Amino acid sequence: MKKYTFFNNCVHWDSLDVNREGGLCDMIDQAIDITRRTFLKHVDRQDLIEFEEMLSYEKHWKHGLTMASDYYVTYHRSKLHGERVYFFKHSAIEYVFR
């Protein structure tokens, strides 16, 4: 099974692709909410671990807040230009894996 790897986030998105048909806005509008468990089945774990560290999450809940226990992080599946993608949203920023 293909493991989706990090592609881009909405902050660094090509401005010409934001409102283009099938682009970022369409991807967000057509997204389906999924569980973290489903997200983990499809994305490269090492990519996600790097984001968890970058976003200052703890590796274990005994040491503080983990990404898994942060109720404000949401997980989604959608299509970007007809291609399936997975993304998580943290602080209103979409991190896209394809």
Quote the CA–CA distance of 42 and 81 in Å, as a whole number.
19
Is residue 1 in some structural domain?
Answer: no
Is residue 35 in some structural domain?
Answer: yes
Give the range of the structural domain holding residue 53, as residue numbers without chain letter.
Answer: 6-97
pTM given for the model? 0.91
* Contact criterion met (CB below 8 Å) for 35 and 42: no
Instruction: Report which secondary-structure segment, H or E, holds 93.
Output: strand 93-97
Segment 14-53, tens digit of pLDDT: 999 999 999 999 999 999 999 999 999 999 999 999 999 9
* Contact criterion met (CB below 8 Å) for 87 and 48: no
Is residue 47 in some structural domain?
Answer: yes
Structural domain count, the chain: 1
